[in-house]
Structure 1
Amino acid sequence: MLQTMTQTNRSEPLLPDSEVLRRALASVDPSDLLMTYAYLTHDRDLLERMAPHIRPLFGLEPTAIPDELVEELRSKAFIALTTAGATRGEMPSRELMQRIMSVGMGEQVDDEFVDLLFEQCGFVVPQARKSRVDRTMPPQGFKVLLVGAGLTGLAAGIKLKEAGYDYICVEKNADVAGTWLENVYPGVAVDTPSHFYSYSFHQKADWNHYFPRGEQVRQYLNGVADHYDLRRNIRFESVVTTMAFDEASGLWNVTIRDKNGHAEVVQANAVMVAHGRLNRWSLPDIPGIERFTGPVMHSAGWDRSVDLEGKRIAVIGTGASGAQIVPNVAPDAGKVTVFMRSRYWVMPNPKISGTVPEETKWALANIPGFQQWFRFGIYWNASDGYYQHVLRDPAWPDDAPSVSEVNEQLRQYGLSYMQQKLGHRPELLEKLTPDFPIFSKRMVLDAGWYDALLRDNVEVENDPIAEILPNGIRTRSGAVHEVDVIACATGFNIARMLGDVQVTGRDGRSLNEEWGDDDPRAYLGTTVPGYPNLFLVGGPNTGPNHGAGANLVAEAVINYIVECLDLMVARDAATMEPTEQAYRDWNDKIDDQLTRMIWSHPKANSYYNNSAGRVFLSNPFRLVDLWNWTRKPVEEHFLLGRAQN
């Protein structure tokens, strides 16, 4: 059941005439305004007259709407918003909504996307499960244990609460927000646009930046926890150490240790693991690191009390975190030496450091429907639109540094950007130019990274580190770099998805042993045979590595898990686990599709891969595919059972 998110009242104007409204209409993007106007008025005439002038964001020709049409649009939008009865009181038909989407993006939006877009953009919201008259409510005493209170865990708590499930959440930190509570390094930010990196059901209109700073995300998630009163269900400064399934009772015995070392065993009917990927960090295994006499900090364990002014700073790592840290510490540092372990493709985005104009923030907060259409445009251009770049063309040479014509075009764009920024420094250009296809590793958005590397007090060292000395770093060539502070932007142990939690299933099976250090597998990335009622959020092969969408994936998988719980309750079952056949078929499907993806390219090797080269993280399908597959479980893919006692 769905409910329309935005309704209008035709008996009175939607907004009063004001100078701020006029400024907003004059400043917002015409395509966003056109979609909003057509949504409110159902005006097909202006929509179709503007359609020939709007082009896809990544098309060969830019959007060029004639000035007279733009002025007509702004005038009609003003009348619609300030005149009683000028707007329609109901949401447009599905067909018109799809047409508005297609015109606004300058390309066809296929029907398979529409339901996802309705939900993810906030045009409709699912009816709260516990208010559905045709649904069996969870029985008294049915308890879910949730691990993690970051972006994923908070969403899970909201949806469990809406469905009427009793749950407790275990969180190792003293507050919510997960990685956005922990990561406080200079320049910490998100490389997903602000207006999409948020819950579809709790959007935020007043982001200050187009790409949010870490502190802004932390504030957003704190606000979510307050709004939904989630903290009452969270045990802070506590960790789960073991989970053991009891076959007789059909329950999980979960050992929780608090900050004082006190251990308690809690029984739960189901367990949801939502402790995030960017959670398990450690300092790099470099000889001598323990002997260094100055501060050594990981990006996720940054000590803000360390004074960096005038210091000689070593930054180990050139991925997303390193590319944010260096521009923010270099201006005050005496010298920054960047130790490059890997090369990355770096792409420009004019909005990466841009602030959202006040007129746009006002429009997002006040013009009905504008926020939903603004979010739609971001999703369409930042997510599945990139999928074509990660598909390998079977006719494309295997030894080429790209995987298709469109991927090569983007590679050439990346090369031209590097030439533009670094062409006058050929030695630096040579050090930084990747030899692997663009999109086969996580890309870096340039928020001052290249400019920082061009500073007189910044040096890029690609000679591998041999050891760390008490006062510096020695590379393999024997060169010694004396430094005062070491900053490790060296990532996370993502492959060890269970962290330090020991998980024991049926017949004493150990999931830790079955997965080993880096080979996790699951059915639909969520459940594993032999481990009933154990659900993973952010599990194997669910990473949206072709574009933005971590929040979308989290919402989709959480929906699926709650649907699984509902199926158990409706069937009066105590346990639920996937069949071995469904598990094997799904993983065969994953492995087969991965052969067609960019991540199987001979030179594609990143944290997406395990030590054997298998891609364990990336979802090789589109986000819309995953969303559709997670609407509800296929009952015949599961074994439903009763407790033995």
Structure 2
Amino acid sequence: MTFSNNFENPHEPVSKQNLDKALAEGEPQTELLALLELTGRQDLVERWARHITGANPWDHSFTETDLRELRSELSSVLMARFEKRWIEPQRGTEINVDLLLDLAVGAPLSSTYHDLAKKEMGLKPDKVEWTHGRPERADRMRVAIIGAGPSGITAAIRLRDLGFDFAIYDSGNDFGGTWLHNTYPGCGVDIASHYFSFSYAPNSNWSRYYAKQPELLAYLQTTANEAGLRSHTQFNTEVVAASYDENNHVWNLTINSGDGGVSTAQAEILITATGLLSAPKIPEFPGLDKYEGKSYHAAQWDHSVDYTGKRVALIGTGASANQIGPALAPEVEQLTVFQRSAQWNIGVANYMQSVSAGEKWLLANVPEYQRWFRLRTMLSQNDTLRPAAEVDPSWDAPDGSISAENARIRETLTQYIKDELGDRQDLLPVALPDYPPFTKRMLRDNGWYRMMRRENVEVVSARNISFTANGILDDSGTEHIVDIAVFATGFDASRALGTLKITGRNGRTIRDIWGEDNPRAHYGITVPGFPNLFVLYGPNTNIGTGGSIILQAETWSRYAVEAIVRMIECEAVEMECRPEAMESYNRAMDKRLEGMIWSVSGGTTWYRNASGRVVSNMPWSTPEYWEMTQQVQLCDYELLDNEGNSVQIQSAARADAS
């Protein structure tokens, strides 16, 4: 459908005809919520609210008559507003936002979810503020941020708003983090775009409900540029070491530049925002050094290599492979996929769909529609299948399922695979996982099973491949001749902070504390022995049951920046997590993790370290973790002044309370 220019330009008059066309392309549930917010009419609640049956766009029971009448009512209200003849409901007659939140998905939300929802909708402040104005001593607290991806961007914006002197360091040549470095064919997000975006920077112009990498990268770079972060950022610079000077309460940074030079910098506060999936991992396959073809990791895609008409090996079947395979298959002569284990894929009805011009216009020009659309999108993503990942201790089944819900989801996903394979049911033994769903990351189906049906695609189950000069040997010794080998073999996720050498109090490094793959932190953010260090996307902060890492980034950065502000307001220069606080949090976390599938399933997963402990995922739901990090408890920290004296907790508590 083509819309008139005044749909693209909100400054031009809006015609009722074009408005009605836009509403016809909107989401009915969101339109009703917007109408209720605008009018406060209780009779419309009683008339239509029961037709909202869930958070997905297709979860409703509106009839065609309902839709015509609903959209006619909303059209009249919006036209009155656009023509400046609309009268807002009298105070006291509007419908309380909490009531609307309980109508948003057809079932009441928890009180915590109400608070989180208001924050995401822009109805509840999320900024950290100085209690009594910015103190002069804040001028002496410099902040270094390592990483210019989503976490680094949102941390920097919070610091900018508070007037801090900060610098961002990133080894890449621009903002974007993982969305800058991952450029493989088909690369995209698996969380709906209207939620996979900052709450303070909504984007009404996403081209797809699930955007691809170029659009996501452009969004992050636009957000950073509009926030004025470029002048604070040093690109093509890698911080390789950070050492804490206890006498001067400062972090000393060692920085490698792109031209081979080495420099140093200092900052009183260090924030790491290097991400969880930032260190590509390629196993030591036998014979790889003898392979004469092209090879590279998916996260280091070599765009100089033309794969058109070539024989390509795709090694791995995880999230990246799930996007790469369907994108490559139509272009190559032969695609051979080597899998250690099959993956569970879930079909999402609007995963491949473009956002219509009408809906874009509503998102850009009707604030109420944008708010409720984002809220409903969030609720369609957060922890929606969490019950299937929670262990039922009384459940006992030979198939490895952990609960009745987990078994039900397994049946649903199995039928989905069968349906997608169509007349190629002979592929089912290769396509069907032998472990329960949610053991590994649940994937959005990018057309994987339809890819498997192609004549030029072969999926080979092999756990111990090796390379020859011309190809790959599978477990049976059969050689597969390939021109290009793509490693979709994941990242070194359990080795938190990667190769960055961080030295804290008494000369102890982070590796001394964590070992190679056993990291722990207080709320995943602060670590005893490392004063003024804040880790964003730290241990056990990944979401394993659905949600947005962008929301997590806002949560981590808020906690870190609030901690910095409270420390300064207490006239302290050093803030260090107390061991007993971290240990208490981790005991509770470990106990909760015992009830999650990642701790009990026999299937392999990057969520666990070499000893089997879950080190990546948090056991909490998104609103639970958000709530527990909303206020920094200063009693969890040792605060020191410039002379090294302990700041009394009484004064700290007063600053916290005020």
TM-score range relative to shorter protein:
over 0.9
Partner of 1:43: 41
Residues 127, 485 of structure 1: alpha-carbon distance in 2 compared, 3 angstrom cutoff: closer
CA distance in 1, matches of 2:506, 2:483: 53
CA distance in 2, matches of 1:38, 1:640: 49
Q: Which range moves more in the overlay, 629-638 or 403-412?
A: 403-412
Q: 1:74 aligns with which of 71, 78, 102?
A: 71
Given the two structures, how large is their TM-score scaled by the length of structure 2? 0.92
Partner of 1:420: 419
Residues 14, 564 of structure 1: alpha-carbon distance in 2 compared, 3 angstrom cutoff: farther
Residues 95, 18 of structure 1: alpha-carbon distance in 2 compared, 3 angstrom cutoff: closer
Determine if contact 1:119/1:125 at 8 Å carries over to the other structure. yes
Secondary structure at the aligned position of 1:126 is classed as: coil
Q: CA deviation at 1:139?
A: 2.2
Determine if contact 2:139/2:164 at 8 Å carries over to the other structure. no
Determine if contact 1:42/1:88 at 8 Å carries over to the other structure. no
Structure 2 residue 277 is the aligned partner of structure 1 residue 278: yes
The one-letter amino acid of 1:113's match is Y
Q: Which range moves more in the overlay, 589-598 or 115-124?
A: 115-124
Determine if contact 2:29/2:60 at 8 Å carries over to the other structure. no
Determine if contact 1:15/1:81 at 8 Å carries over to the other structure. no
Determine if contact 1:498/1:512 at 8 Å carries over to the other structure. no
Aligned pairs for 1:246-265 (under 5 A) are 246-265=245-264
Partner of 2:54: 56
CA distance in 1, matches of 2:494, 2:93: 45
CA distance in 1, matches of 2:179, 2:127: 30
Q: How many equivalent pairs are there?
A: 631
Runs of 5+ consecutive residues of structure 1 not aligned to the other structure: 1-12
CA distance in 1, matches of 2:628, 2:528: 19
CA distance in 2, matches of 1:92, 1:256: 59
Q: CA deviation at 1:329?
A: 1.1
Partner of 1:371: 370
The one-letter amino acid of 1:33's match is E
Aligned pairs for 1:128-527 (under 5 A) are 129=129, 133=132, 136=135, 139-397=138-396, 399-422=398-421, 424-527=423-526
Determine if contact 1:250/1:642 at 8 Å carries over to the other structure. no
Q: 1:23 aligns with which of 17, 21, 28?
A: 21
CA distance in 2, matches of 1:92, 1:211: 39
Q: CA deviation at 1:475?
A: 1.6
Determine if contact 2:439/2:601 at 8 Å carries over to the other structure. no
The one-letter amino acid of 1:404's match is S
CA distance in 2, matches of 1:391, 1:137: 49
Determine if contact 2:431/2:449 at 8 Å carries over to the other structure. no
Q: CA deviation at 1:72?
A: 2.1
CA distance in 2, matches of 1:430, 1:90: 64
Determine if contact 1:136/1:566 at 8 Å carries over to the other structure. no
Determine if contact 1:284/1:488 at 8 Å carries over to the other structure. no
CA distance in 2, matches of 1:499, 1:46: 55
Q: CA deviation at 1:398?
A: 6.4
Structure 2 residue 98 is the aligned partner of structure 1 residue 98: yes
The Cα offsets for residues 110-163 of structure 1, whole Å up to 9 and x where unpaired, read as: 222111111113334435736x65564652221011000011111111111112
Residues 145, 62 of structure 1: alpha-carbon distance in 2 compared, 3 angstrom cutoff: closer
Partner of 1:110: 110
The Cα offsets for residues 249-290 of structure 1, whole Å up to 9 and x where unpaired, read as: 111111111112222221111100001122111433211212
The Cα offsets for residues 509-548 of structure 1, whole Å up to 9 and x where unpaired, read as: 1211221221110011000111101100000111111002
Partner of 1:7: none
Q: CA deviation at 1:91?
A: 10
Determine if contact 2:56/2:377 at 8 Å carries over to the other structure. no
Q: CA deviation at 1:549?
A: 1.7
Q: CA deviation at 1:347?
A: 1.0
CA distance in 2, matches of 1:99, 1:615: 38
Given the two structures, how large is their TM-score scaled by the length of structure 1? 0.94
CA distance in 2, matches of 1:87, 1:377: 27
CA distance in 2, matches of 1:584, 1:424: 55
CA distance in 2, matches of 1:112, 1:622: 11
Partner of 1:634: 633
CA distance in 2, matches of 1:333, 1:66: 46
Q: Which range moves more in the overlay, 531-540 or 118-127?
A: 118-127
Partner of 2:575: 576
Q: Which range moves more in the overlay, 99-108 or 29-38?
A: 99-108
Residues 385, 70 of structure 1: alpha-carbon distance in 2 compared, 3 angstrom cutoff: same
Partner of 1:5: none
Q: CA deviation at 1:85?
A: 4.8
Determine if contact 1:330/1:336 at 8 Å carries over to the other structure. yes
Residues 65, 637 of structure 1: alpha-carbon distance in 2 compared, 3 angstrom cutoff: same
The one-letter amino acid of 1:114's match is H
Residues 51, 330 of structure 1: alpha-carbon distance in 2 compared, 3 angstrom cutoff: same
Secondary structure at the aligned position of 2:638 is classed as: strand
Aligned pairs for 1:557-572 (under 5 A) are 557-572=556-571
CA distance in 2, matches of 1:554, 1:258: 27
CA distance in 2, matches of 1:172, 1:94: 51
Runs of 4+ in 1 over 6 A off after TM superposition: 89-95
CA distance in 2, matches of 1:239, 1:626: 31
The one-letter amino acid of 2:70's match is L
Residues 57, 412 of structure 1: alpha-carbon distance in 2 compared, 3 angstrom cutoff: farther
Structure 2 residue 605 is the aligned partner of structure 1 residue 606: yes
CA distance in 2, matches of 1:391, 1:106: 23
Residues 429, 467 of structure 1: alpha-carbon distance in 2 compared, 3 angstrom cutoff: same
Determine if contact 2:465/2:474 at 8 Å carries over to the other structure. yes
Residues 346, 94 of structure 1: alpha-carbon distance in 2 compared, 3 angstrom cutoff: farther
Percent of paired sites with the same residue: 33
Q: CA deviation at 1:94?
A: 10
The one-letter amino acid of 1:308's match is Y
CA distance in 2, matches of 1:477, 1:92: 75
Q: CA deviation at 1:37?
A: 1.1
